[in-house]
Structure 1
Amino acid sequence: MNKKKLIAPLILLLAAAIYFVFFYTDKTLKLVPRNADAVVLIDVKKLTRQYISNLVVHPSKWSGSKTKDKKEISLKDSGIRIPDFLQIFHLKDTRFSEWYSVVELKDPQKFITFLKNHHFVNKGKDLFQKDQIFIKIEGENGIIGTSASAFETIKNQLFQSSGKNTLTADQFIAHTAGSISFISGQKIQNFSIELKADEIEIKNTTDVGTLASLISEVQKKNHFLEAELDARNVKNYARFFNKSLIDSSQINYFKATADLEQVNDTVISYGYDDNFNEIEKKTVQKIIQPNYAINLQSSVPEKTWEYFQHKKWINAQNQFTAIPFQPNHIDRRSGGLVIQSTRKPVSLSPNLAQNYIFIKNSPLLLSSLSILTSTEKKLLSDLEYIFYGNKAENYWVKIKAKKGKLPLILRW
């Protein structure tokens, strides 16, 4: 047979293989329960293409990690069926910190070996735990969550219910590597997630000009934290922690400025000498403390003060004990309350009449988080700042990393 005649079919076959491996996606979302009120989607194939395209132009990464443990089982050998769209969800009426995902398993036994290899503890009945991650194996599926409390609900809805979920990826994501969506009845509010060379953006608009200029303005103040929120934003954030807090306290405006400082903290303990006499021991340790000022405006300041007293957040010395970093002082002022640290007072920045939260990374922050693993510390040290901004119906979150030789997708 003429070899030239084989070239065209081989090229077509190769093109078809590349299309199905890297571009074709099954957009049916079978692993999101009906009572989900928030969904995060990750387009795995788009992210893979982005990774490969970055890898091609960075030869320094071609050899892979030299420090990787050869005994460690990789994700592709873990028994998991890699999905086209990773589906992460939050269930209605559960805590904000509770997020779940379901993966399909090609080989459940391989997956168990993978979990043991990564130091997950078998809690019995096919439930495994490592730190705050829980995994339950249900037949040929694995339920993953930051809590195990909704595993039975998820199992009943996804694997035992006769009703089929009709959600598709097109309802949530469009041409980006990921999305986060909030579901309320038939209404779905979508935010795109874009991974760039040195930043991650989450937004529902392409018009971020005003909010981008706000970042430049806030950065000039050079504080660890700057925040200003109106009544709607205050209420939205309060839902994550205490749904009734804002309604009960009548707070309709929040403003905060904070810096970090390393201070000496004296710890007093008691022991006994050889004659059993009690002796006092003083130990000095360095700790990280914030210096801050917070302005809480209220439609009825007197009711706000009474609510805080009822919650026992104000003690006899007028210290606001709901903030664990002491000492501080809370004052009633025109239109609201002001809370200030007293060890090293900080002045509130001028009001910008904008809605934003700006957190600048600091070496002091990293040194204070001793519970983090070396990988988590590396990731955190890479960050420059985190910004949240809102103007009318436009929202934008920007996670900015420091400039590096490699793009984020190859660094992380």
Structure 2
Amino acid sequence: MKIFFKILAVIILSLLIFFVGIFKYRQYQANQVSIPRNATSVLKISVDEMLKSLAANIVSNAGFYLKSGDKKKPKDGKSEPGAGLKIPASLYLYSLEKQPKTAVFTRFEVKSPSDFETFIKHRLGFKILKQQHGMSFASSSLGNVIICYNTEAAAIAFSGEVVNFDSVLIDLLRQNDFVKLSESKFNKIKKSTHHIAYSDNDYNFTTDFIAGAINFNADFSTSAITPSANPKHRMLNAGSVVSMWLNADFPKTSTKTYRLKNATLKRDSLLKYYKGYLDFEWTNSIKQTDSIVTYAYNDDFEKVEKITLQEKNIPNASFIVAADAMGLSTYLSRQKIINPDSATVNKSVFPLYKTFVGGNSQYLVLGTKKPGKIDSRNINSTDFFSLDVNFKKLNNQLNVPGLGKYLKHLDRLTVKGKAVDPKQIQLDGKATLVNGDINSLYQLLKDF
């Protein structure tokens, strides 16, 4: 029996070494990738790192995955062909100079040309637009995803707008003016083992899908805000549905005007009264009676207005700004944002809920409930920003058809912001899921 276990141990160890070697080799190959020389940002998706994390989770929760693995088989008993692409250990996507900011590009090696064309035509519903010089072009129905491909590779453009990317895609397909990732300004991202990593000139972002949670981190430089040197915040309700606070200033820049229906606000005028702090809190739900205006015809066939009262549940939410409240309130009144006589926000500016105006000399308050006394007790913090969303409570209080199914797996979201130096900011976030044992990516994707 001892000999048997020794042999079994040797076999298991050999298999582990074999698979580790395979992963190492795949990662080595993936890191030899070249990217366009004019790339302005790079997004790395570490496929093998995700698979390793998922495999470890399957081993420790085999029973769950066996139950979840029951899928309907095709009626003919045959499995559908794959996408026909070679999936490397890491995928790289990038944005390019002189291209729309909403456009993202990538390039794949093709493993099976016939399977790939079948996949994009019949599974994705793409239309083959044209063929020239051994290359084919295909487009999504909306025209915002374009593929240029031949028998060896495929270049893809994802865009928020419909643009002719033919020449760009041909260059990507042929790898014209490419440089090795290790020799580019994005060479540091090559060593990243995070599941998702993004980098551009000013911004770095990572995401990892672990058991029961999604961890993410952002590190970036900005001149848009100036975090407080000694952060603090008001004492907020720990049981809120959503709470957020920010202790930072907004540097005055060129004059900017915000338009809200028939009202306008000037950025420099708002900042004149702002005192470096704001927070938002949604504690629970309250009932609010609203006037519903309908129209009907009387006996003389004249169109007349009919007003009915309707009671509905709405968020008990408040938005508080540290400010020269009297000056800010006067400015908002002049701009017809608030009505000083009724102490409410103009319905044409914010028609969703009746919003009241209140506060004191130090704080201006906008809320769906008449503001009471403000708790101005402050708590010192090492963070200048905080966001907390309780998705369980949010799902119970939101009444938006179809939205609940996308949020049902989420439990809580927390984000903290810290100033590394006056112009460098770090955000650390965590989204926990209802099931704390199962890989978060699997939980989010399994219903699709």
Q: TM-score range by the shorter chain?
A: 0.5 to 0.7
My pick for the range that moved more, 389-398 or 145-154, is 145-154
- Count residues in correspondence: 371
CA contact (8 A) 1:181 1:191 kept: yes
CA contact (8 A) 2:207 2:216 kept: yes
Structure 2 counterpart of 1:127, from 128, 139, 144: 139
Provide the C-alpha distance between the structure 2 equivalents of 1:255 and 1:273, rounded to a whole number of angstroms: 49
- Note if 1:62 corresponds to 2:79: no
Give 3-state SS (helix, strand or coil) of 2:408's partner. helix
CA contact (8 A) 1:228 1:254 kept: yes
Give 3-state SS (helix, strand or coil) of 2:146's partner. strand
1:223 Cα deviation (Å)? Answer: 0.7
- Note if 1:176 corresponds to 2:194: yes
1:256 Cα deviation (Å)? Answer: 1.4
C-alpha spacing 1:363/1:300, structure 2 compared with 1 (3 Å) = closer
- AA paired with 1:228? W
Provide the C-alpha distance between the structure 1 equivalents of 2:72 and 2:103, rounded to a whole number of angstroms: 29
- AA paired with 1:66? D
CA contact (8 A) 1:326 1:341 kept: no
Provide the C-alpha distance between the structure 2 equivalents of 1:303 and 1:93, rounded to a whole number of angstroms: 42
Question: Residue 358 of structure 1 corresponds to which residue in structure 2?
Answer: 388
Alignment of 1:140-179 (within 5 A): 140-145=153-158, 147-149=160-162, 152=165, 155=169, 158-159=172-173, 162-168=176-182, 171-172=188-189, 173-179=191-197
CA contact (8 A) 1:218 1:226 kept: no
Structure 1 counterpart of 2:364, from 338, 345, 361: 338
- AA paired with 1:338? L
RMSD over aligned CA atoms reads 5.0
Question: Residue 281 of structure 2 corresponds to which residue in structure 1?
Answer: 257
Provide the C-alpha distance between the structure 1 equivalents of 2:72 and 2:307, rounded to a whole number of angstroms: 44
Structure 2: which 5+ runs fail to align?
1-9, 130-136, 220-230, 252-257, 259-264, 421-425
1:319 Cα deviation (Å)? Answer: 1.2
C-alpha spacing 1:111/1:258, structure 2 compared with 1 (3 Å) = farther
Alignment of 1:395-410 (within 5 A): 395-404=427-436, 406-410=438-442
C-alpha spacing 1:268/1:69, structure 2 compared with 1 (3 Å) = farther
C-alpha spacing 1:148/1:261, structure 2 compared with 1 (3 Å) = same
- AA paired with 1:138? C
C-alpha spacing 1:369/1:391, structure 2 compared with 1 (3 Å) = same
- Note if 1:197 corresponds to 2:211: yes
Question: Residue 384 of structure 1 corresponds to which residue in structure 2?
Answer: 411
My pick for the range that moved more, 191-200 or 63-72, is 63-72
The structure where strand makes up a greater share of residues is 2
TM-score by length of 2: 0.63
C-alpha spacing 1:95/1:332, structure 2 compared with 1 (3 Å) = farther
Structure 1 counterpart of 2:400, from 354, 364, 369: 369
CA contact (8 A) 1:262 1:286 kept: no
1:44 Cα deviation (Å)? Answer: 0.7
Question: Residue 211 of structure 1 corresponds to which residue in structure 2?
Answer: none
Structure 1 counterpart of 2:50, from 44, 47, 51: 47
CA contact (8 A) 2:196 2:207 kept: yes
C-alpha spacing 1:323/1:149, structure 2 compared with 1 (3 Å) = farther
Provide the C-alpha distance between the structure 2 equivalents of 1:67 and 1:380, rounded to a whole number of angstroms: 23
CA contact (8 A) 1:293 1:346 kept: no
CA contact (8 A) 1:32 1:87 kept: no
Cα deviations by residue, 1:55-104 (Å, 9 ceiling, x for unpaired): 223223136533456379999812333232233456689998x4635242
Question: Residue 87 of structure 2 corresponds to which residue in structure 1?
Answer: 82
Give the fraction of aligned pairs with identical amino acids, expressed as a percent.
17
CA contact (8 A) 2:388 2:415 kept: yes
Give 3-state SS (helix, strand or coil) of 1:45's partner. helix
Give 3-state SS (helix, strand or coil) of 1:126's partner. strand
Question: Residue 239 of structure 1 corresponds to which residue in structure 2?
Answer: none
1:285 Cα deviation (Å)? Answer: 8.2
C-alpha spacing 1:226/1:193, structure 2 compared with 1 (3 Å) = same
Question: Residue 26 of structure 2 corresponds to which residue in structure 1?
Answer: 24
C-alpha spacing 1:75/1:226, structure 2 compared with 1 (3 Å) = farther
Provide the C-alpha distance between the structure 2 equivalents of 1:365 and 1:275, rounded to a whole number of angstroms: 48
Provide the C-alpha distance between the structure 1 equivalents of 2:146 and 2:415, rounded to a whole number of angstroms: 35
- AA paired with 2:280? A
C-alpha spacing 1:66/1:183, structure 2 compared with 1 (3 Å) = same
Provide the C-alpha distance between the structure 1 equivalents of 2:56 and 2:317, rounded to a whole number of angstroms: 45
Larger Rg: 2
Alignment of 1:299-314 (within 5 A): 302=327, 306=331, 313-314=337-338
